[in-house]
Every structure is written in C-alpha cells, then in structure tokens.
Copies of this chain bind each other. A is one copy, B any other.
Amino acid sequence: MLHINSESIEKMESRYQANLFNTISGFKSANLIGTRDKSGNTNLAIFNSVVHIGANPPYLGFILRPTTVERHTYQNIKETGFYTINHVHERFIEKAHQTSAKYAKNVSEFKACGFEEEYLNKFTAPFVKESKIKIGLQFEEEHLVKANDTLLIVGKVLNAYLDDKLISADGTISLTEAGTVAISGLYEYLKPLKLNKFEYAKP
C-alpha cells in the first residue's frame, strides 16, 4: 500500500496532483448550472460539486473556484440572485463536458455547446431543455474558504421540474431511470447501477 504524505505531495507534478486529489473524494454529481446576466447574456457551466445542504426547507450548495471559467456563473448569480441546476444525462455527457472550456464572457455555452435555453413560469434564469431534472434556485448565502479562496454557494430551491414517473411513492427520485450520470475527477463520466437500497438504520 502506497503512503502519500506531505513530503511526497510537495514533490508531485502539478497535473498529477490535480488528478489525484480530484479523484480521491469519491464519485461526484454532474450538473449544469445555468445563469443570465442583467443584459440577458446566458452562461452554462458544468459543476461536479453540487451538494445537499437541507431538505426542509430545501437548500443545495456548490463549490466555486473564483479564478476560473466558472466566475461568469458567480457574477451572474450575484448580479441577479437566481440560477438553475440541471442534471447531466448519459445522452449528452460530451456536450456537457464541453461547457467546461473557457469561453469568453460574451459567448453563451448554451449555443456554443448545443443546448437549448428554456424559460419556465417567469423564472429569469435559463433551464436546460435537454435535462430531465431541473431546479430553479435563489442565492441564499456564500462562504469563503480561507484555505484556498474557494467559495461555498448556498441556494434555496424555489422550483423543480421533472417527469412524475421518476418519483416513487416515498418521494425518492430514480436517478438511474432518469439516466443521470456521475463524475470521477475532472474528465470521467459514469453510469451508476443500483446495488442495494437499505432502510433507515437502527442500532
């Protein structure tokens, strides 16, 4: 068994280190975040860091690096207060990955990567028409991680759109039936298959 420690980390080549520590956290969610600035320019970017914050009331979080392509997402969220989270499905992983490219601010990844903007019930941020599970959120709060200047962005779920056949009687959404994918690291997309479902655990 290999032992990685502070000394071996210091000696790592930078891309090697990025790949290693981007895969070591386990599988990640795959979501496209859609935004629009005040002038109406839209932005779409893939995020692998969407995380559950709470169910009642419903909140979701995601981690944002302030100095990368994702800052358009941040600027638009701060400017308008609204954004959408849209699941990435098996059918369009290649297009979804392409949204991670560093497009200029005036280029919409919707158009550049082949997604259709969808506006639903007067919500101002664009949903992804191709996505089967879409969520409309309002910015709630942000937290600066001092260690490396990343941000935790927390939003309140205002709307959700999905086929009601995907929801079972207990409220669970079948992500496998929706064809939602998982991500490992920065580049690999996976299709999860159900192993088992357990009950609420008691001692």
Contact = CB atoms under 8 A, between A and B. Distances in A.
B196 A94 contact: yes
- A interface residue count range (under 10 / 10 to 19 / 20 to 34 / 35 or more): 35 or more
Nearest to A190: B192
Copies of this chain, complex-wide, total: 2
Interface string A64-107: 00000000000000000000010100100110011111111001
A30 interface: yes
A4 B161 contact: yes
A191 interface: yes
A126 interface: no
Interface of A: 1-6, 9, 12-31, 48-61, 63, 85, 87, 90, 93-94, 97-104, 107, 112, 120-121, 133, 135, 140-141, 143, 145-148, 150, 152, 154, 156-164, 167, 170-173, 175-176, 180-182, 184-203
